Amino acid sequence: MKIFFLTWKSFGNEDVIDAFRKEGHEVVEFAYSDKDEPDDAAAVAKMTRQIRQAAADCVFSFNYFPVVALACKELGMPYLSWIYDSPYVRIYHYSIAYPTNYVFVFDSSIYLEFHNAGIQTVHFLPMAANTERLNAMADFKAFQKTGWRNACEVAFIGSLYTEAHNFYDRLTGIRDYTRGYLEGLMAAQKQVYGYNFVQETLKAHPELIEDMRQFLPMTPGHDSVESVEYLFAQYVINRQITAMERKELLGEVAERFGLDLYTPDQDFRMKGCTNHGKVDYYDMAPYVFKTAKINLNISLRSILAGMPLRAFDIMGAGGFLLTNFQPDFLEFFVPGEDFVYFESRVDLMDKIAYYLAHEEERRQIAENGHRKIEEQHTYRHRVREMLSCL
């Protein structure tokens, strides 16, 4: 099969291209800008010509782009898209229901939302890891000659959301009642893993939405069906909860156990934390996962049930994963055998202390998780699953 592969600045491009080719398919790479809007007829026509000229059998992209969906519908060609971002508002574009679409989401709750609405083009597909590439990255001594090394036993790679574009900080003039309600809502949600009630709470209180819209005028697109509650819940409130939660949890971890932090905000400081700055996804992150005794995952709160890509990267590299609870883990992995999850701040601290003191148990869990990724959750497995839907 000949696959027209749209490349942009997404994680996993190299791994999926490698998987397609190892499965015997031809891949034609095409650099794509995701700035085109679906109501731009010239952009749709241009994309249609480019796909036709490639003489491909199907189109693939990470994340879903309505411009591409419109072009594929015109051509009668299958469009496979695998969404790894959350939230991802483009999935609510009206074109999602086109019969030429095969849209794969890593969060089962998003799949169920569309399935229950009668949309048959959205499928559930967890993320993956390229264990062949990760297993080959075993020369630690050569890599350490570059001057890199972990300073602590616990590591976290990810954003603290202290960078720009924090929408919550723009709500400077909302009423005291609104701010108090939102602060209470965020404090309550921080105590609960495995179920997110922010969006349904906002839906029940439209007066909060109207107050926030005066200072942050979010509006659903004219050609899509997302709700204003979705926009505020996922892009504003859940993002702010994640920022608060990561700083609070990582701060206590750093003070009690020490922490290697790899994050875009190089100026961030906290007691007991070594901030290494941003880490390269392909060349450096796997070494962090392999050498840290404990790798933390604190999921973005807009990921309602799914397993983030970070979790697969950690286990795929052979690292020990300690994550917040997410329901989808239980569909594929065994807690305490393949990975470990925590249910509260106290539980997190207790489990870090326990697994730092029980090296053999920690090592066995990491090995089990890696083996299961290798046997069931590589990109080659996912490529076969996607193509089997055509």
Mean pLDDT by groups of 10 residues along the chain of 390 residues: 94 94 97 80 94 96 96 97 95 97 98 97 98 86 66 93 80 96 97 95 97 94 92 96 96 97 91 92 90 97 96 97 98 98 97 98 98 98 97
Both structure tokens of 183: 């602060």
> Please, what are the domains in the chain?
2-125 (3.40.50.2000), 131-377 (3.40.50.2000)
The pLDDT value given to residue 266: 86
Q: Answer for the pair 386, 125: CB distance below 8 angstroms, yes or no.
A: yes
The pLDDT value given to residue 173: 93
Tell me which amino acid residue 30 is.
Answer: F
The pLDDT value given to residue 142: 59
Q: How many CB atoms lie within 10 A of CB 154?
A: 25
The pLDDT value given to residue 143: 62
The pLDDT value given to residue 151: 82
DSSP per residue over 50-82, as a string?
HHHHHT-SEEEEES--HHHHHHHHHHT--EEEE
What's the predicted TM-score (pTM) here?
A: 0.94
The pLDDT value given to residue 33: 82
Tell me which amino acid residue 137 is.
Answer: M
Measuring CA to CA, which residue among 21, 75, 26, 27 is closest to residue 51? 75
Q: Residues near 216 by Cβ (< 8 Å), separated by ≥ 6? A: 167, 170, 171, 232, 236
Encode 78-131 in three state secondary structure. Answer: CEEEEECCCCCHHHHEHHHHCCCEEEEECCHHHHHHHHHCCCCCEEECCCCECH
Tell me which amino acid residue 187 is.
Answer: A
